[in-house]
Amino acid sequence: MKILVGNNKLAKLGGSETYTYALVGELVRQGHQVDCIASGMPGIVSNRIKDDFGVITRFRPTTAGYDLVLLSHKTSIELARNVQGFKIQTCHGVHHPLERPVPGMDAYVAVSDEVAEGLKNQGYSASVIYNGVDCDRFYPMTNDTRDDLQFVLSLAHSDEANQMIHEACDMLGCTLQVLNKYKSAVWEVEYLINQADMVISLGRGVYEAAACGRNVVIFDYRPYMGKEAIGDGYVTPEVFPLYMKNNCSGRYTKKIFNAEILKGEMARYDSFNGELLREFAMKHLNIKNQVQKYLDLVR
């Protein structure tokens, strides 16, 4: 198939940008002819898509025809307004104006049950396809798993959250590394994830850490979610499907955190749980399966 993939921007690292990279990569591996379209300017993600998959990103409107058009955000939809093909809009969130559904698509996809419910309230029916992870890129790179929690990687965005995580790590006697993508973005984050026993994050970072067989705590402070630092806490395969209903955003339980509560969640660390999360990711988050769900929507 000839397929166009669109995202708002592909210059900097972010959840939808990494999703787009994974989506394009799997489509190419399956033998499809793929093009990309985005607003803004070239950057790290569009360059990696070109270097790794040979796919060029257009940064202007196009009128070419495609068998399938996979678009995220209003900006990419506008760039592809005159494109012919079966158009699917993927909505990644419930807050940002760019995520709102655009009339006239052939199908709509929500990355969580929460987003699907929001679309339903606006009169749109959407299929739920959870964020796909390249489980060949994000995988346990070593069989060594520590019996005790020693090294924690924070992918939290806020200084307030990372200060709380730092205090919890001090109480537990473990080492903390902070990787805030807005301050020190790293493309090959899978290597840092694999060095950690536990990863603290929201959203896509949770899925990628699980695919790497790491223990995970869902937590961060995002001002758009309110005045308190919230999270869902420690992740096991039993509760993972529940937290995914809200894209592992912390909005499922909306548990309010402080350093002491966070310490309690981190103290639940179990090296065997990482293996179970890897199995869960392979079954429910593997990009190979998620891409097939998109292809199945084409009528």
Structure confidence at residue 15 (pLDDT): 87
Q: Are residues 88 and 172 in the same domain?
A: no
- Summarised one tens digit per residue, pLDDT across range 19-51 is 999 999 999 999 999 999 999 999 999 999 999
pLDDT score of 144 more than 70: no
Specify the CATH number for the domain of residue 169: 3.40.50.2000
Under the banding of pLDDT at 50, 70 and 90, the label for residue 143 is low
- In whole numbers, what is the pLDDT of the chain averaged over residues? 94
Last residue in a domain, options 98, 129, 160:
129
- Evaluate whether residue 293 is within a structural domain: no
DSSP label at residue 268: T
Percent of the chain whose pLDDT exceeds 90 = 88
Query: Buried b vs exposed e over 149-169: b needs ≥16 C-beta within 10 Å?
Result: beebbbbbbeeebbebbebbb
Q: Are residues 70 and 12 in the same domain?
A: yes
**With a threshold of 0.85, does the pTM exceed it?**
yes
Q: Are residues 119 and 177 in the same domain?
A: no
Among 298, 293, 285, 296, which Cα is nearest to 19's?
285
Among 270, 217, 263, which Cα is nearest to 243's?
217
Among 120, 115, 41, which Cα is nearest to 72's?
115
Among 195, 115, 206, which Cα is nearest to 152's?
195
Q: Are residues 16 and 46 in the same domain?
A: yes
Under the banding of pLDDT at 50, 70 and 90, the label for residue 225 is low
Q: What is the chain's alpha carbon radius of gyration, rounded to the nearest angstrom?
A: 19
DSSP label at residue 55: P
Q: Are residues 117 and 221 in the same domain?
A: no
- Evaluate whether residue 62 is within a structural domain: yes
Largest distance between two CA atoms of the chain: 58
Last residue in a domain, options 99, 129, 159:
129
Q: Are residues 176 and 94 in the same domain?
A: no
Domain that holds residue 237: 151-284
Q: Are residues 279 and 158 in the same domain?
A: yes
- Summarised one tens digit per residue, pLDDT across range 67-81 is 999 999 999 999 999
Q: Are residues 111 and 166 in the same domain?
A: no
- Evaluate whether residue 216 is within a structural domain: yes
- Evaluate whether residue 12 is within a structural domain: yes
Structure confidence at residue 180 (pLDDT): 85
Task: Tell me the mean pLDDT in the region 208-224.
Answer: 92
- Evaluate whether residue 32 is within a structural domain: yes
CA angle, residues 243, 108, 224, in degrees to nearest 5: 45
- Cα 54 from Cα 127, distance rounded (Å): 30
**Amino acid found at 155:** L
- Evaluate whether residue 264 is within a structural domain: yes
Q: DSSP for 90-101, please give it.
A: EE--SS-GGGS-
- Cα 28 from Cα 22, distance rounded (Å): 10
Burial class (CB in 10 A: 0-12, 13-18, 19+), 54: exposed
- Cα 44 from Cα 30, distance rounded (Å): 24
Q: Are residues 270 and 237 in the same domain?
A: yes
Beta-bridge partners for 83: none
- Cα 89 from Cα 72, distance rounded (Å): 6
- Evaluate whether residue 140 is within a structural domain: no
- Evaluate whether residue 145 is within a structural domain: no
Q: Are residues 116 and 164 in the same domain?
A: no
Q: Are residues 181 and 256 in the same domain?
A: yes
Under the banding of pLDDT at 50, 70 and 90, the label for residue 9 is very high
Q: How many domains, in total, are found in the chain?
A: 2
Q: Are residues 93 and 172 in the same domain?
A: no
